[in-house]
Structure 1
Amino acid sequence: MNNSKVIDYVVDNLNELPWQEALVKKIGYDKRRGRKIKIYLRFFRQNRIEENNLRSYSRFMKKENCLIIDPIFSLKSYNGLECKELSAKIYDDVFQYLEFAINKYEAKFDDFDFPSFFKILLERFQDIRAGILPQDENNQLEKLLDGII
């Protein structure tokens, strides 16, 4: 599996709709109150990050009662890693950022079960890192990153 497929694997398994629906049921999501957390994962070439002054951020949107977590990762830091190393590094980087952001804003929510959410998220990341989830044949990222990593 090449590097772009490893990134696809991580992102696809976090975006998997049945898992997200099961997560929603476990934490008691109320559709009328809107989303509580929006997570975006962005991977860019280092020169793009510098040219466009891109920054990771997490922000609580009071009006929407929603935490937006939007980390940016440099593809350069994943270059040259073997699949298992790459998967572990992505896992560590993404999970550490999410842990930081969630802990920082947890007090903003009075009706969200962060411990349950975090436990389920940790389990999913461990499954992703272990490579036990199915792999879709998704070549979108591979085509986009052809020749970059």
Structure 2
Amino acid sequence: MRVMVFVKATADSEAGVMPSTELLIEMGKFNEELIKAGVMLAGDGLKPTRQAKRVAFDGASRTVIDGPFAETRELVAGYWMWEVKDMDEAVEWVKRCPNPMPGPSEIEIRPLYEMSDFAEIMTPEAEALHGGNAAAMGRADG
């Protein structure tokens, strides 16, 4: 199962406060463990939302919204994409993670949809469109 692991933003991360050298080293070692275990597929830190944009959709209308965005606790400061056997394994990995922020912080784990989740509504046309993408990514479930 694939999961997206979100490091939630804090006032410090939104202010652009850089992590300490010690934290960079700790996180680097943790990432090495994830890679050696075959868990980590991708991951990165995100710049503060003052450098971001959102595009709001309403029917055919598109509105561009410049950052920064309010509600810091709802924002994401970084992410990993992991391949784990189940949610319990993902939780165990997160519990081993160094605290990603200087103070209190949260990490959210969300499972990704797989093509098999759409089996009941998949038409031959949709399968042709999406099946090729899954195969190109080396996924056996698409």
* Same-fold call, TM cutoff 0.5: no
TM-score, L = length of structure 1 = 0.32
Q: TM-score, normalised by structure 2?
A: 0.34
Comparing both structures, which one devotes a greater share of its residues to helix?
1
Q: Kindly indicate which of the two structures has a greater share of residues assigned to strand.
A: 2
